Amino acid sequence: MKGMKINWSHFVCKFLVLSLFGILFISCVTREKIVYFQGDLESLEQMTAKYSPTIQADDLLIITVYGRNQEATRIFNQESNLSTSSGGNLGRQQTYLVDEEGFIEFPVLGKIKLGGLTRIEAMQHMKELLSKDIIDPGVSLMISNFRITMLGEIGKPGTYTLDNEKMTLLEAIGMAGDLTINGERENVLVIREEDGQRKFYRIDLTSDQVFTSPVYYLLQNDIVYVEPNQNKRNASSSTFRDVSFLISVTSFVITIVALIGR
């Protein structure tokens, strides 16, 4: 209208402020989206009752036999020889591969089925077999190739070889530096090989049901993947980049208008 002077800098400023509020509203993350284990945790101890992983096919076992007579146990504690660059040999404990049917081939005793047994059960079974040749035998058994892989929005992604074959999903996440702020906590994926087939499990870390999940305790070669949340996906999308560019241009225009209006 004639005689009216439009304050363009004021108009553009209002537009920018409204745009910023809109983006902040869209990208706002509520407490329910990021806090773990929401719900009633009073029965947690019952949920996480005693658990012991069982020996599976392709496990590599380190087995050491003890006894009062060290000479009597020597034949059961074989070492594998590794050649060095200088031509010498380095001795290390022999590992025993669990075959597809759950058997290992052990010195003197021959084929022993350990698949499907817990570590404690396997040691007790071997003690019973060894008692025929050794007085009061002792057995130490460890899975040497127990490893898991952590991928995605994790602080320290990678493959981890573990000394302890009893590892929970939560312990694994903590070991790998926890989820990043951009990790999707409601849809963590665990990939597991079971009976020759690959299975996929989805876990909601914001729910107390995580403790009753079949993958709460991880098994050898489990893969844990944390996908990016909506904020991270938005930040990676061309639309979000276009909005960011628009805000930058708008800021530039405001500066120019403010200088001209002086």
Do 70 and 121 belong to one domain? Answer: yes
Domain count, the chain: 2
Q: Considering the domain boundaries, does residue 222 fall inside one? A: yes
Whether residues 67 and 136 share a domain: the answer is yes
pTM of the full predicted structure?
0.59
Do 155 and 261 share a structural domain? yes
67/125 same-domain check? yes
In this structure, are 131 and 219 located in the same domain? no
Residues 93, 152, single domain; the answer is: no
Would 1 be classed as within a structural domain? Answer: no
**Half-sphere exposure (Cβ direction) of 258: Cα atoms closer than 13 Å:** 9
User: Both 43 and 90 in a single domain?
Assistant: no
Would residue 9 count as lying in a domain? no
Q: Which residues contact 219 (CB under 8 A, 6 or more apart)?
A: 53, 56, 192
| Residues 182 and 261 grouped into a single domain | yes
Last residue of a domain, one of 143, 169, 201: 143
| pLDDT given at position 53 | 76
Shared domain for 79 and 34, answered yes or no, is no
pLDDT at 31: 46
CATH of residue 117's domain is 3.30.1950.10
Identify whether 114 is part of a domain. yes
Hey, how many other C-beta atoms are within 10 angstroms of the C-beta on 56?
19
Q: Which of 209, 67, 175, 48 is nearest to 131 (CA)?
A: 67
- The whole-number pLDDT of residue 44 equals 46
The upper half-sphere exposure of residue 214, i.e. CA atoms within 13 Å in the direction of its Cβ, equals 8
User: How do residues 111-150 score in pLDDT, each as one tens digit?
Assistant: 999 999 988 999 999 999 999 889 889 999 988 888 899 9
Kindly state whether residues 129 and 152 are assigned to the same domain. no
- Identify the domain boundary among 143, 159, 180: 143
| Tens-digit pLDDT string for the chain (262 aa) | 555 555 555 655 565 555 555 555 555 555 455 455 555 544 444 444 456 778 888 889 999 999 888 888 888 987 765 444 445 444 467 889 999 999 999 999 999 999 999 889 999 999 999 998 898 899 999 888 888 999 999 999 999 988 777 789 999 999 999 999 988 999 999 999 877 788 999 999 988 888 889 999 998 889 999 998 877 767 665 555 555 556 665 665 666 555 555 5
Q: Tell me, yes or no, whether 102 and 150 share the same domain.
A: no
Within-domain flag for 34: yes
Which of 103, 127, 143 terminates a domain? The answer is 143
CATH code of the domain covering residue 27: 3.10.560.10
